[in-house]
Amino acid sequence: MELQSRNSCFGGEQAVYTHASDVCGVDMTFAVYLPPQASSRSVPVLWYLSGLTCTHENAMTKAGLQQHAAVYGLALVFPDTSPRGDSVADDEAYDLGQGAGFYLNATQAPWKPHFQMYDYVVKELRGLLQGALPINDSHGITGHSMGGHGALTIAMRNPTRYGSVSAFSPILNPTQSDWGRKQFSSYLGDDECTWAQHDATVLITENGWHGDILIDQGADDQFIDLLRPQAFAEAAAARRQPCVLRTHANYDHSYFFVASFGEDHVAWHAERLHGMS
């Protein structure tokens, strides 16, 4: 881990690091916020996965989560959304290639050599941080849009690794959306059977989740037809899965929406990760 920047923030520390990723085959950048409580003890971790076109920096500077994490004693981790660099495959479209990793392990050329974001988040980066920072084994995960998709699918596929999960405006049924079908066919190939493990609606139907789930969605979200919250809500109801899916009038898909309800999510995770109400 090579430190790129460090700033005091709400009594804690906001840092940005780079490291050589074996999984992605390039240098990766990520951000970590350590709350003031981390100066005297290890703390739980809330992972925040960002959406299309974002880097580690978007949520770090726009979501306003550090103030709440300082109160509730949670570390925050902001990974990048994809590998980057001249050697990494890309596409002219904003929703494919660099900035659009979809938190999966690509199996198809030209993406396979670098686009291994599932293993990067679930295994490599977690292992790197666990040994280097004052954090404990209690991990929660959240995210926005494509990152909400990543948070939900990663949590449901790894229930023993995560104690809590939530999402802001997540892509909830990508196998039936243009924000999913296009990317899955490129990254994973045309066999749609391989897509199911990356669809939260399919996973909630088949696997469920060991706890409750919090999802916030803006009613005026310009991408709501691509996100398909109604499909997930119907699947969760059919399974009787504990889930709070709140739809907020007048809110859109922006970081203003994320910031407006960020405290609710941090408090939600804190209560489930270390019993703080």
Active-site residues, by number, are 145, 221, 253
Q: Indicate the SS3 state at residue 92.
A: coil
Query: Which residues, 6+ apart, have CB-to-CB distance to 84 below 8 Å?
Result: 26, 98, 99
Helix (H) or strand (E) holding 156: helix 146-157
Residue 38, class by beta-carbon neighbours within 10 Å (0-12 exposed, 13-18 middle, 19+ buried)? Answer: buried
Alpha-carbon torsion angle 54, 55, 56, 62, nearest 10: -40
